[in-house]
Amino acid sequence: MSSKAGTRRVELEGGATLLLEESHLVPLVAITVALRTGALYDPEGREGLYRYAGRMLRRGAGALSSSDIEDAIDRLGSEIGVDAASSSFSFGGQVIRRSLDPFVELAGTLLASPTFFEDEAAKLRRESVAELVEARDNDRSLAQRAFRRAMFPNHGYGRFASGTPESVAAITASEARALHGQHFRQKNAMVTFSGDVDEATAVAAATRLLRGLPAGEPTLIETPEPPKVAGRRLVFVDKPERTQTQILIGTLGTSATDPDHVPLLIANAVFGGTFTSRLMREVRSKRGWSYGASSRLGIDRRRQSFSMWTFPAATDAAACIALELELFEAFVKDGITARELGFIKKYLTRSYAFEIDTPHKRVHQALDVDLYGLPADYYSSHTAHVDAVTVDAAREAVQRRLDPESLLFVVVGTAKDILKPIQDAIPRLSETTVVPFDTL
């Protein structure tokens, strides 16, 4: 048994790209078909359409009914899933090597020939709406939805890939069919194979997988840079009887091609990216206000968000926000220290082995480079990029990209109990919006 090192790239007839990571250690093959489109293409008032159309692929295709498809997936010992994000859509699964051929036949049929029958479409609408209503029980999900909407107003990044109960209820089978016809094209597809498969087999299987998709150019749009919204704004998601809060604080971050991106990633790892970070130490270890405290720098084709997340008790929420604001202002003013930089470099370079320890992870890094327009050596030279960051570069990146005076504060809690103390904890607060939780 052996593995061939490195991700191989093959251009397929029809314009699609195949990425292959070959490893024969385990008799499994994982396949992904990704499209360079996603929820950004959902029309206004039809948020969730892309995800809905993707889920319809399992509700009938070719001569197969929904139950036929589920029986076939079980019979092959396989799994098939779909995922719609803002800038990408992926369809794929995993199968035992001996069942690769019938799996490719089944997956190709689902991908190219969904039936979009109205009875299944209506059933999926009801199920999706019920899921979205139920998701309102999840306070963290509410905070994330409110954060995206307020961080990216009038921009595709502010839409919910899952939609809202109202937008999903309005989606029709014919709209899903039209989206499929417009975007599911061979030239818009990238296929990954990883696992127990050689190149000749993967090329033949990928060609069969995509053969039902039409040729021709896909309809693509250019995503604009999200606008920066100035000032300190508070969005309070009002939900009754909350004894615990969810708090997200953020501002615009970077895009992956920004020269400040890697230095900011390193600085963020010091600030809130590890269990020993400043945020975790001050909020959890010293004060015990929140079980977790972290910060995150998003990544996409355009400038994404930087955000801090905590979930203190309602009685500690105002003090926690004041502390986070103080820590963030000091972070922007002074950056990170040489000692912190030395520690985080060792941590990130040593732990990187866990990011590339399976063929599936490696091939998906290559896929992300193409899907999100990352620099070609974004992953392959990761440790070199980390090593090259200096204290000055990290501090200057933080100061150029993060603005303490343009911060969005999102809190999920009970307004009558804690809204006023939270407003008082945010100096120079320019705007407060109270959002009933059942409108998200």
* Residue 21 pLDDT exceeds 70: yes
Residue 4's pLDDT band (boundaries 50, 70, 90)?
Answer: low
Q: For the residues 116-129, what does the mean pLDDT come to?
A: 96
Mean pLDDT, the chain, integer: 94
What Cα–Cα distance (Å) separates residue 113 from each residue in 58, 59, 117? 11, 11, 12
For residue 146, the model assigns a pLDDT of 97
Lowest mean pLDDT among 36-45, 105-114, 139-148, 328-337: 36-45
Is residue 1 very low, low, confident or very high in pLDDT (cuts 50, 70, 90)?
A: very low
Percent of the chain whose pLDDT exceeds 70: 98
Q: In whole angstroms, how far apart are CA 424 and each of 199, 320, 412?
A: 62, 12, 17
Q: What is the pLDDT of residue 73?
A: 96
Read off the pLDDT of residues 166-203 as tens digits, 9 standing for 90 and up.
999 999 999 999 999 988 999 989 999 999 999 999 99
Residue 158 to residue 16: CA distance in whole angstroms: 29
pLDDT at 327 over 70: yes
pLDDT at residue 228 in the model:
85
pLDDT in tens, 42-91: 988 999 999 999 999 999 999 999 999 999 999 999 999 999 998 899 99
User: Which residue is associated with the tokens 């059942």?
Assistant: 438
Q: List, for residues 288-307, the tens digit of each pLDDT value.
A: 999 999 999 998 889 999 99
Q: What's the pLDDT score for residue 242?
A: 97
Which ranges constitute the DSSP H helices of 14-117?
49-55, 66-75, 100-112
Q: What is the pTM for the complete model shown? A: 0.91
Is residue 2 very low, low, confident or very high in pLDDT (cuts 50, 70, 90)? very low
- Look at residue 371 and tell me whether its pLDDT is greater than 90: no
User: Which pLDDT belongs to residue 62?
Assistant: 96
* Token couple for 309: 């997340």
Secondary structure, 3-state, 87-124: CCEEEEEEEEHHHHHHHHHHHHHHHHCECCCHHHHHHH
Q: 232-238 and 429-436: which strand pairing?
A: parallel
Percentage of residues in the chain with pLDDT exceeding 90? 84
For residue 5, what pLDDT band results from cuts at 50, 70 and 90?
A: low
pLDDT digits (tens, 9 = 90+) for 208-217: 999 999 987 7
Q: What is the pLDDT of residues 105-121, one digit of tens each?
A: 999 999 999 999 999 99
Q: Which helix (H) or strand (E) holds 31?
A: strand 28-35
State the first-to-last Cα distance of the chain, in angstroms, to the nearest integer.
Answer: 52
What 3-state DSSP class applies to 375? coil
Report whether pLDDT(41) > 90. no
Q: What is the pLDDT of residue 154?
A: 86
Residue 373 has pLDDT above 90, yes or no: no
